[in-house]
A and B are shown apart, each in its own frame.
Chain A
Amino acid sequence: MTFHSPTRWADALAVRAEHPQAVPIAGGTDAMVELNSGRRRPDRLLDLSRIAEVSGWDTDGGTVRAGAGITHTAIVAQLAESAPALAQAASTVGSPQIRNRATLGGNIATASPAGDTLPTLLACGAAVELHSVGGARTVALADFVTGPKRTQLAPDELIAAVLFPAATGPQHFSKVGVRAAMIIAVCSFAVALFPDRRSVGTGIGAAAPTPRAAVEAQDFAAEVLPWDSLGHLDPAVAGYFGDLVAKAADPIDDVRGTAQYRRHALAVIARRALIWAWDDLRGAVPCG
C-alpha cells in the first residue's frame, strides 16, 4: 500500500488528480473502520492530517470559513460563539479521543444520515468549498449530500472548507440516544434563529436517507414567531413546529429504533429546541 502524506494542500490536490482511487484520510475515524473491517481494501491512502492550511478557521464577521481539517475538539473550543449548534453537535461526537482526531471534513464526506454536524450546518444554510487542481467550486450542503453515504464529490476533488453565516441568534442541537456518550443518533435536530433576517433554519438527522431541513417547519416558525414584540412563544406554536418537523422526516426501523419512535422523538426535541432558542433570544434582548 502506498501512503501519501503531503504537508501542503496543493500537493494533496496533485496526488488526488494523479491517483483518484487513493482514499483520503483525515482523522481516520471513519476511514480506518472501513479498512479494518475489510469493506475497503485501497492500495493508496492520501493522508490529509498534516496539512495546516485546512485545519483552521477564519471569518470576515459575516461568514465563517471552517477548514475541512478542523477537529471536533477545536470546533467545541473555538466556534461556540459563531456556530453554537455546530459546537454542541461536535461535543456529542464519540469520545474525547475521537473528537481529538476526527474532522469536520470527514464527517461531511462520510455523509452518514446520522453525521452529527450535518443538521446544524443545514440549519445555517452552509455550503462546502471543493477544490481540485482545476479550480474551486462551492456547493450548498443540501445539494452536496445526495444519498446515504453519497455525495457530489468528484474523483479529483477534496473538501477544502465549509462556509456558513456566523450566528446572529440562538441555535440548538439535540441528539437522542440511549447512552450518554459514544452513541450514534437515533435521531437529531438542529434549529438556528437569525433574527436579523427573521429566518429560522432547521436540520434533521438520522431520520431520512440524508440529513435534511424541515422546510415547512422553518417557514412556519419564521412566519409566526413574534419577532417584533419578542413576546412569549405560544406552546401550541412550538408543538405544531415539532409536528411539522416530524412530518418532514422519512425514518426507518433499524437496530437503533423504530420509525414511529424517531418521528415521535423528533417532534419532542424540535419543540423543545425552538422554545429554548426563543427563550434565549428573549433573554438576550434587554426588556424595553
Chain B
Amino acid sequence: MTSGSMGSSPRRPDGWAKVTGTFAFSSDLSMPGMLWGATVRSPHPRARIVGIDVSGALALEGVRAALTHLDVPGAPCYGLELRDQPVLAATEVRYEGEPVAVVAADDPDLARRAAEAVLVTYAPLTPIVDAEAAARGEGEAVHAGRPNLLRHVPVRRGDPNVEAPVVVTGEYEVGMQDQAFLGPESGVAYPADDGGVDLHVATQWLHVDRDQIASCLGLEPERVRLTLAGVGGAFGGREDISMQIHACLLALRTGRPVKMVYRREESFRGHVHRHPARLWYEHGATRDGRLVYVRARIVLDGGAYASSSMAVAANAATLGVGPYRVPNVRMDSYVVYTNNPPCGAMRGFGAVQACFGYESQMDRLAHACGLDPVELRRRNAMTTGDLMPTGQVVEGPAPVAELLRMVAERPAAPRTTAFGASGGHTTRGEGVVRGVGYGVGIKNVCFSEGFDDFSTARVRLELRDGRPVVTVHTAAAEVGQGLVTVQGQIARSELGVPDVVVAPADTAVGSAGSSSASRQTYVTGGAVQAACQAVRRQVEATTGEPYDPTALPRLLARTGAVEETVRWHHRPTKGLDPQTGQGDAHVQFAFAAHRATVEVDVELGTVRVVEIVTAQDVGRAVHPQAILGQIHGGTVQGLGLALMEEIQVTDGGIRNPSFTDYLIPTIMDVPQMRVELLELADPHSPYGLRGVGEPPAISSAPAVVAAVRAATGVELSRVPIRPHDVVWGAGR
C-alpha cells in the first residue's frame, strides 16, 4: 500500500505552518498599494434610514471611497435561499449591525475613522423580537409585504389521535450559540484587467459566494474569480456572504486592492448564529417504555434575513424525534423573521436544537416508566429498515443501540475531582455531587430535499523529473477539518502514487459544493475517487496496458500528462410533501452517542465535566486522527452549548459581542475524552464512509444536561444552563 493512503493518518500539509505560526490566514494577506475597507453598521435593530451623508468621510485625507446602496451596480440583495439581504441597506435596517455603507482608506485606522464620519440619520422603530408571536402570524412584518413565517415544515405520520398510557410533556429552550471561529471575516479583493475582480477570502463555498458577488456587481460569473485564503475556522458561520461583496465593490471603485478584516465585535455581528429555539414535546409510550407517538412544535428564530433558515427548519422537523422508531408523529417546525440577529448554519444545523428537546423527553419518559435511560432508549432505538417520520426507509447501518451500549459499558469515570487545582478555588468538595447522563443523536449527511448536490475534481497525473506526480484540484474549502489531507490520501490509494499535490482551491475548477453538512469527504472525496479512476482508464486506453503504478514512468512517457475532470453527484433526494412532510429527503444518516459524567457544586450551581465518552459510526475511518479531532472538537462544542455558550440578546441588541463574555470552553474545561469508533460500511457512499463532522456536536449537550439533572434532581429545560438555574431550579 502506498504510504499516506486511506486508513492511515498522514500529517496535514499545512500542519507544520499552523503550529509554528507561519501559516497565512485570510487576515494576514497583503498586496502592494492595498487599501483598507471598513463598514458602517446600524446601531439599531430596526429603523428607517432617513439619510446617509458620506461627505464627512470623503473629506478626510487618505479616504478613497465611501459607498452606499446607490453604488451597488447589480442586484441590490443576495442570500443563500432567498435573495432578501441588501448588500447595503437602502431604506430600512433590520438588525443591529446591518451594513449601511462601506469606505476604503489608506490605513485601517483611517478607514475606521472614516466609517465613524459617515453620518446616517435613522428613525428608530420598535424591533419585532417575539419569534413565537411571529410563528402565530401576529405582529408587524419585518419585511414589508412578506409574512414573518419563513417556513412551516409539518411532518405527519400514522394516527394523529392515538393515545398512550404513559405521557410526558416538556417545554425547552435553546439559546443562541455562535460558531466562535477565531479567524475574523477577512479577505483581499483586487480589480482585474478584464473589468472583473479577484477575491482571496476565507469561506466555505467559493462558487456560491462567486454567484452572489457576480449578481450584485452586475458581472458575469466568469469575471469574478475566487481563491480560498487561509480559513481560521468556520462551523457554518462562513456559508453566508460577509465582506465579500463590499471588498469587491471598493476594489472596482478605487481600482486598487482592498483588504477587509472584521474586528471581534464586528465579527459577532457580521455572521449568522445558531437559531435559538423553543420546543414543545409530548411523548406517549406503553408502560414498558415503547414509543407510541411524538407530538412536537419547534419555533426557530431566524432573525432579520433568511440565510439557510428554511433548510434548518426542515432538519429540525425531519430529525426531530431522534434516532427512534415512532409509529405516530405530528411535528410542526416553524422558522420566522424577527429583528434579532440573523441566524443560519452552524454545525448540527437544526438537529442540535431538536436533540436537546427529544433527549430531555427520553429521560423524562424513562423516569415515568421506571426504566434506566439507556434501556428506554435501547427499546426504541431505530435500526436498518426502520422508517423515519418522513416515511423514508433507513438504509445502511443504523447502530443506535450498539452505540449506546458502547458508551454505557465503558468503566465509570475516574474518581478524581474536576473541581481541582484549576478554577476559582471555590470548593474543597463542599456541595459537590456527581451525575451521569446519556445522549444519542441523528444527523443527515449532505444536502437534502432534492438539492442538486455535487462536487468537481480535476486530477492530473504526469512525470516530473522522471517521477510520477499527481495534482488534485478542487474548489473544496479546507476549513480546518483536514480535507486537504483526505484528498491526498484518496489519490494515493486510487493511483498508487506517493507524490500528491493538492492545488489551492479556487473557482478555476468547477464547484465542490459547501464544506458543510458533514459532506466534503463524501462528495468531494467521491469526486476525487471518480477522477482518479477516470485517469486510470485513460492511461489504460491510451497505452493498451493495464494500469500499474510501478510501470508509470514508462506508461506516462508514452501518454504524456493525463488529466480528467469529473463532476460527481451523490444519489438524488426528494422534496418533502408540504402537507405531510413525507419524502425521501436525506442521503445518509449518521449517529453518535455520548455519556457524560459531571460534577455540580449544588450550592453555587457551577458545573465541571469529568469525562465524556463518545461512540460514533464513521462507516470507514479515512484519517483516524482527523476523526478523533472532529469528535473531540464537536463534543466540546456541545459541552459549550450545555454550560456557557450564548449570545445574549435584549430587544434585538447583542449584549456580549466579545470573547470576554461569549464564553467557549478552554482546555481547562475539556474533560477526559474517550472515543469509540464503529466502521460499518454504507453501501451507497464512497468507500462506505459516513460524514463525521456534525454528529459529535449534537448529543453531547443533552448528555451533559442529563448528567447535571441526575446530579441535582433539578429540571433543567434550557441550554446553556446558568448557575442560578441550578441553584433555584430552572425554568424558562
Chain A residues engaging chain B, CB cutoff 8 angstroms: 36-38, 41, 88, 92, 95, 172-186, 188, 255-258, 260-261, 264-265, 268-269, 272, 276
Contact flag A188-B656 (CB < 8 Å), given A180-B666, A261-B723, A264-B727:
no
Partner of B669, one of A173, A176, A180: A180
Q: Separation in Å of the A158 CB from the closest CB of chain B? A: 27
| B372 CB within 8 Å of chain A | no
Q: A255-B648, A258-B724 are in contact. Are A185 and B424 (CB under 8 A)?
A: yes
Contact of A179 with B661 at beta-carbon distance under 8 Å, contacts A92-B424, A185-B424, A272-B426 already known: no
Q: Of B265, B426, B643, which is in contact with the most chain A CB atoms at under 10 Å from its CB?
A: B426
The answer to whether A178 touches B643 (Cβ under 8 A) is yes
Q: Closest B-chain residue to A89, C-beta based?
A: B425
With A181-B668, A182-B666 given, is the CB distance from A175 to B603 under 8 Å? no
Q: Are A92 and B425 in contact (CB under 8 A)?
A: yes
Q: What's the nearest-Cβ distance from chain B to residue A195, in Å?
A: 21
Q: Does B545 belong to the interface (CB within 8 Å)?
A: no
**Closest CB-CB distance, A144 to chain B, in whole Å?**
25
Quote the shortest CB–CB distance from A33 to chain B (angstroms). 8
Q: How far is the CA of A238 from the CA of B461 in the complex (A)?
A: 77
Find chain A residues with CB under 8 A from B655 CB. Answer: 255
Question: Can you add 8 more A-B contacts, CB < 8 Å, to A92-B424, A177-B423?
Answer: A175-B424, A178-B723, A181-B666, A184-B661, A255-B656, A261-B727, A268-B603, A272-B427
Are the CB atoms of A179 and B663 closer together than 8 Å? yes
Contact of A176 among B422, B424, B668 (CB under 8 A): B424
Q: Is the interface of B mostly helix, strand, loop or mixed?
A: loop
In the bound complex, residues from chain A placing their C-beta under 8 Å from that of B100 are: none
B660 touches A95 (CB 8 A): no
Within 8 A of A (CB), among B390-427: 422-427
Could you tell me if A178 and B430 are in contact, using CB atoms closer than 8 angstroms?
no
B443 within 8 Å of A (CB atoms)? no
Checking A175, A178, A269 against B644 with a beta-carbon cut-off of 8 angstroms, the contacting residue is A178
25 contacts between A and B (CB under 8 A): A37-B263, A38-B112, A173-B425, A174-B426, A175-B424, A175-B425, A176-B424, A176-B604, A177-B423, A178-B607, A178-B643, A178-B723, A179-B644, A179-B663, A179-B668, A180-B668, A180-B669, A182-B666, A184-B661, A186-B723, A257-B722, A260-B724, A261-B605, A264-B727, A272-B428
Q: Which residues of A are found within 8 Å of B426, using beta-carbon distances?
A: 174-176, 269, 272
How many angstroms between the C-alpha atoms of A41 and B108 in the bound complex? Answer: 13
Q: Are A95 and B666 in contact (CB under 8 A)?
A: yes
Residues from chain B with Cβ under 8 Å of A255 in the complex: 648, 655-656, 661
A181 touches B663 (CB 8 A): no
What is the distance, in angstroms, from B111's C-beta to the closest C-beta of chain A? Answer: 11
Does B608 sit within 8 A of A, measured CB to CB? yes
Q: With an 8 A cutoff between CB atoms, is B606 at the interface?
A: yes
Q: Which of B425, B605, B667 has the most CB of A within 10 A?
A: B425
Alpha-carbon distance between A177 and B663 when the two chains are bound, in angstroms: 11
Instruction: Find chain B residues with CB under 8 A from A268 CB.
Output: 431, 603-604
Q: Would A188 and B724 count as touching, CB distance under 8 A?
A: no
A36: B residues at CB distance < 8 A: 263
- Measured in the bound complex, the distance between the Cα atoms of B431 and A177 in whole Å is 16
The 4 closest A-B pairs by CB, nearest first: A175-B424, A180-B668, A181-B668, A261-B724
Using Cβ atoms and an 8 Å threshold, which residues of chain A touch B661? 184, 255-256
Q: State whether the Cβ of B549 lies closer than 8 Å to any Cβ in chain A.
A: no
A36 CA to B264 CA, complexed, in Å: 10
CB-nearest residue of chain A to B720: A178
Chain A residues whose CB sits within 8 angstroms of the CB of B427 once the complex forms = 272
CA distance A203 to B463 in the complex (A): 74
- Alpha-carbon separation in the docked complex, A188 to B424 (Å): 9
Question: Which A residues are CB-close (under 8 A) to B431?
Answer: 268
Residue of A nearest to B607 (CB): A178
Q: Indicate if the CB atoms of B663 and A257 lie closer than 8 Å.
A: no
Taken together as a complex, chains A and B put the C-alpha atoms of A51 and B724 apart, in Å, by 45
- Chain A residues positioned under 8 Å from B109 (CB to CB): 38, 41
Interface 0/1 of B152-172, CB less than 8 Å to A: 000000000000000000000
